[in-house]
Structure 1
Amino acid sequence: MRVLHVCAEIYPLLKTGGLADVAGALPAAQARARCDARVLVPGFPALRAGILDQRLVAELAPAFGAQAIRLYCGILPDSGVMAYVIDAPELYDRPGNPYADANNHAYPDNHRRFALLGWVAARLAQGLDGSWRAQVVHGHDWHAGLAAAYLKAAEHAAGRRLAGSVFTVHNLAYQGNFPRHAFVDLNLPAYFFDVDGIEFHGQCSFMKAGLFYADKLTTVSPTYAREIQGSEQGCGLDGLLRKRMGDLSGILNGVDDTVWNPALDGLIAAPFATGTMRGKQTCKAALQQEAGLAIDADALLFCVVSRLSEQKGLHLLLAALPEIVQRGGQIMLLGSGDAALENAFRDAAAAQPHAVAVRIGYDEQLAHRIIAGSDVILVPSRFEPCGLTQLYGLKYGTLPLVRKVGGLADTVVDCSLENLDEGLATGVVFDTFDAAAISAALRRACALYKRKADWKQVQKHGMQQQFGWDAAAAQYMALYARIGV
Structure 2
Amino acid sequence: MRVLFATSEVAPLIKTGGLADVSAALPAALHGMGVDVRVLLPGYPQVLKVLPHLQVAAKIPTQFSFPATRLLTGLLPNGVPLLVIECAELYERGGGAYQDEQGLDWPDNALRFGLLSKIAALLSCTDSPLDWKPEIVHCNDWQTGLTPAYLHFSEGAVPCVMTVHNLAFQGVFPPQMVAELGLPIECFQPDGVEFYNNLSFMKAGLYYADHITTVSPSYANEIQTDALGFGLQGLLANRREVLTGILNGIDTTEWNPATDPNLANPYNLTDISGKSANKRELQKRMGLHIDPDLPLFGLVSRFTPQKGVDLVLEIAPQLIALPAQLVLLGSGDVEMQRTALELAHHYSGQISAYVGFDEALSHLIEAGADIFLMPSRFEPCGLNQMYSQRYGTPPVVHATGGLIDTVLDCNATSLEQGVASGFVFHHMDTPSLLATARRAAITYHDKKIWRALQHNCMVKNFGWGQSATAYHDIYTHLMRR
Asked if residue 205 in structure 1 is aligned to residue 200 in structure 2, the reply is: yes
Asked if residue 190 in structure 1 is aligned to residue 189 in structure 2, the reply is: no
Shift of 1:130: 3.1
Q: What is the letter of the counterpart of residue 373 of structure 2?
A: L
Asked if residue 253 in structure 1 is aligned to residue 248 in structure 2, the reply is: yes
Matched with 1:107 is 106
Matched with 1:175 is 170
- RMSD of equivalent CA atoms: 1.1
Choose which of 336, 341, 360 in structure 1 pairs with 2:336.
341
Q: Give the Cα–Cα distance (whole angstroms) in 1 for the partners of residues 225 and 116 of structure 2.
A: 30
Q: What is the letter of the counterpart of residue 25 of structure 1?
A: A
Q: Give the Cα–Cα distance (whole angstroms) in 2 for the partners of residues 441 and 467 of structure 1.
A: 24
- Deviation string 1:39-61 (CA, Å, 9 cap, x unpaired) is 00001111122336421111111
User: 1:218 aligns to what SS in structure 2?
Assistant: strand
Q: Give the Cα–Cα distance (whole angstroms) in 1 for the partners of residues 130 and 107 of structure 2.
A: 34
Q: For this pair of structures, how many residues does the alignment match?
A: 479
- Deviation string 1:81-122 (CA, Å, 9 cap, x unpaired) is 001000000000111110010001101110000000001001
Shift of 1:63: 3.6
Segments of 5+ residues of structure 1 without an aligned counterpart are none
Q: What is the letter of the counterpart of residue 110 of structure 1?
A: N
Shift of 1:149: 1.0
Map 1:11-410; keep pairs closer than 5 Å. 11-51=11-51, 53-63=53-63, 65=65, 67-77=67-77, 79-126=78-125, 128-154=128-154, 158=155, 161-410=156-405
Runs of 4+ in 1 over 4 A off after TM superposition: none
Q: Give the Cα–Cα distance (whole angstroms) in 1 for the partners of residues 33 and 366 of structure 2.
A: 30
TM-score normalised according to structure 1 size: 0.97
Q: Give the Cα–Cα distance (whole angstroms) in 2 for the partners of residues 183 and 350 of structure 1.
A: 51
User: 2:12 aligns to what SS in structure 1?
Assistant: coil
- Deviation string 1:22-72 (CA, Å, 9 cap, x unpaired) is 000000000111111110000111112233642111111124655441001
Q: What is the letter of the counterpart of residue 273 of structure 2?
A: R
CA 1:164–1:66 in structure 2 vs 1: closer, same or farther (change >3 Å)?
A: closer
Q: Contact 1:52/1:76 (CA < 8 Å) preserved in 2? A: no
Q: Give the Cα–Cα distance (whole angstroms) in 1 for the partners of residues 129 and 250 of structure 2.
A: 32
User: 1:407 aligns to what SS in structure 2?
Assistant: helix
Q: What is the letter of the counterpart of residue 141 of structure 1?
A: D
Q: Contact 2:377/2:428 (CA < 8 Å) preserved in 1? A: yes
Q: Give the Cα–Cα distance (whole angstroms) in 1 for the partners of residues 216 and 238 of structure 2.
A: 19
Q: Give the Cα–Cα distance (whole angstroms) in 1 for the partners of residues 52 and 389 of structure 2.
A: 33
Q: Contact 1:3/1:35 (CA < 8 Å) preserved in 2? A: yes
User: 1:287 aligns to what SS in structure 2?
Assistant: helix
TM-score normalised according to structure 2 size: 0.98
Q: Contact 1:383/1:405 (CA < 8 Å) preserved in 2? A: yes
Shift of 1:316: 1.2
Q: Contact 1:64/1:112 (CA < 8 Å) preserved in 2? A: no
Q: Give the Cα–Cα distance (whole angstroms) in 2 for the partners of residues 199 and 228 of structure 1.
A: 19
Shift of 1:162: 2.2
Q: Contact 2:123/2:130 (CA < 8 Å) preserved in 1? A: no
Q: What is the letter of the counterpart of residue 325 of structure 2?
A: Q
Choose which of 430, 443, 448 in structure 1 pairs with 2:425.
430
Q: Contact 2:443/2:450 (CA < 8 Å) preserved in 1? A: yes
Q: Contact 2:389/2:457 (CA < 8 Å) preserved in 1? A: yes
The percent identity for this pair of structures is: 44
Q: Contact 1:58/1:128 (CA < 8 Å) preserved in 2? A: no
Q: What is the letter of the counterpart of residue 133 of structure 2?
A: R
Q: Give the Cα–Cα distance (whole angstroms) in 1 for the partners of residues 52 and 461 of structure 2.
A: 32
User: 2:190 aligns to what SS in structure 1?
Assistant: coil
Segments of 5+ residues of structure 2 without an aligned counterpart are none
Q: What is the letter of the counterpart of residue 183 of structure 2?
A: L
CA 1:451–1:292 in structure 2 vs 1: closer, same or farther (change >3 Å)?
A: same
User: 2:114 aligns to what SS in structure 1?
Assistant: helix
Q: Contact 2:370/2:394 (CA < 8 Å) preserved in 1? A: yes
